[in-house]
Chain A
């Protein structure tokens, strides 16, 4: 059986089970809605543009927050990797801070910035910058020594060595860090929006809750999953694959 067929069968069975459970009427429909009513919410949400607006706002936030994280994380990562002192002091601190779920930064962000956009950006950045920093730092060390030796031997030094040898050599590592950072940023965004509000996908979830509209909550969850999956699976996976082929890390080597 092909992969596609297996998945069609699996999701078909899942949907059928869902329909059966709703028909059994174990829980009232406002707690356990039928697939059709979730579909209806999804349709309505897109038809009245409320989902589109929320998606646009959330994507703009995550693009800016994640963009800042990338710049900050890369600078921090290379800074740490180039100093033995920072590597032995700051790097372990960052690794331990990474175990903190990003939502834990929210109370702090709300006290500092109030219920504002800034608080959301703060949570996105703290949520994703560390994984980018750490992967940059470890990527810098994963560069085979022969590349920097060959580069220096051929006259590259200082910033030229960095731009023409060290940076490209660490790119495959960097991409996997960026991918991980994206996943964290996306999660942090939604949790931030749920509490700080001001439109967005997270806020839509809370609207659904306030209206006791379980179908809408599930519909928004579905949208969040699909966007996260699309960016991770389609964009990052293909960039990663391209790097692995070119850098000879994959089967082609």
Chain B
């Protein structure tokens, strides 16, 4: 039995019995995010610049749980990079609490699609990385890392290295690493796409609980409409290239919601129809690109 298999079998036993340590909850600084007439384009070797995002106007309220759905290549991830301060708009402005974003800040933590964990550090050291950079002392750091590892049920893997973990476990380490810095804004780029349904459901519950308890602002990118409706207080749908906001919907269903809830399914249905149109456009564009080259 591989380590990863052992972990997942163990994990399903542990998940329902370990109470979540509520001492982790913190009070997030309320941060709202404003995007004003944001355009982002890249130069392309041949032909006109590739327009990734076009005229994005978006107000994200402090403490909002915003989900962003759209076809692949619509610039969803780019949107997160802009808010994180890892990329800058070609024109327009990105502001956090009315302050222009000039670079990354530990108040806004991005969880990457491909986790971005450091292979030279142990699981525990990865979780401690952000708070280490912030200058927290060793003992306090270890204590906090322990709590967040407990949250994602990886306590026993504190001294393992990243290459020893399964994909789902790696993603959970990335979540613990982000939360350990106790961010005001959590930017999540399809964080649960690689997880099995059971783990995903549990992490949905956890994320919702953390969000409620801390009051942090979450921007959650996904291609799964049900997931967006399950989690979001608002869902925005983006168009295929150039990425613009096609429509948005406030989700007023009571929480906690369930992916299988018929009301979630019904709300998803409408958004999904629109998403399909955008996916068709994306496929058509890809196809014409392939046949012309």
Contact = CB atoms under 8 A, between A and B. Distances in A.
A154 B106 contact: yes
B189 to A, nearest CB: 11
B112 A150 contact: yes
B133 A154 contact: yes
Interface in A150-181: 150-157, 160, 164-165, 168-169, 171
B197 interface: no
Contacts of A160: 133
Contacts of B162: 248
Contact of B134 (A155, A171, A253): A155
B263 interface: no
A152 B104 contact: yes
A164 B129 CA distance: 9
Nearest to B181: A154
Judged by DSSP, the binding face of A is: helix
A154 B111 CA distance: 10
Interface in B157-176: 161-164
Interface in A108-158: 146-147, 149-157
Given A154-B129, A154-B177, A155-B133, A147 B163 contact: no
A252 interface: yes
A248 B116 contact: no
Give the residue among A150, A155, A253 with the most B Cβ atoms within 10 A. Answer: A150
Interface string B170-200: 0000000100010000000000000000000
B103 to A, nearest CB: 8
**By CB atoms of chain A within 10 A, which of B106, B120, B181 has the most?**
B120
Interface string B111-134: 010101111100000000110111
A149 B117 CA distance: 11
Contacts, number: 66
B120 A247 contact: yes
Contacts of B117: 150
A169 B106 CA distance: 21
Chain A interface size range: 20 to 34
B106 A152 contact: no
B56 interface: no
B128 to A, nearest CB: 10
A208 to B, nearest CB: 47
A23 interface: no
A164 B133 contact: yes
Contacts of B181: 154-155
B110 A153 contact: yes
A248 B163 contact: yes
Contacts of B118: 147, 150-151, 165, 168-169
A155 B161 contact: no
A246 interface: yes
Given A154-B106, A154-B109, A248-B163, A147 B134 contact: no
B120 A149 contact: no
Interface in B96-154: 103-106, 109-110, 112, 114, 116-120, 129-130, 132-134
A65 B130 CA distance: 39
A40 to B, nearest CB: 50
Contact of A150 (B105, B106, B116, B164): B116
Given A155-B181, A248-B163, A149 B116 contact: yes
**8 closest Cβ pairs, A-B complex:** A248-B163, A150-B116, A154-B130, A155-B133, A155-B106, A168-B120, A146-B116, A152-B104
Interface of A: 146-147, 149-157, 160, 164-165, 168-169, 171, 245-248, 252-253
Interface of B: 84, 86, 103-106, 109-110, 112, 114, 116-120, 129-130, 132-134, 161-164, 177, 181
28 contacts: A146-B112, A146-B114, A146-B116, A147-B116, A149-B112, A150-B116, A150-B118, A151-B118, A153-B84, A153-B109, A154-B129, A155-B105, A155-B106, A155-B133, A155-B134, A156-B129, A156-B133, A164-B133, A169-B120, A171-B120, A246-B120, A246-B161, A247-B119, A247-B120, A248-B119, A248-B162, A252-B163, A252-B164
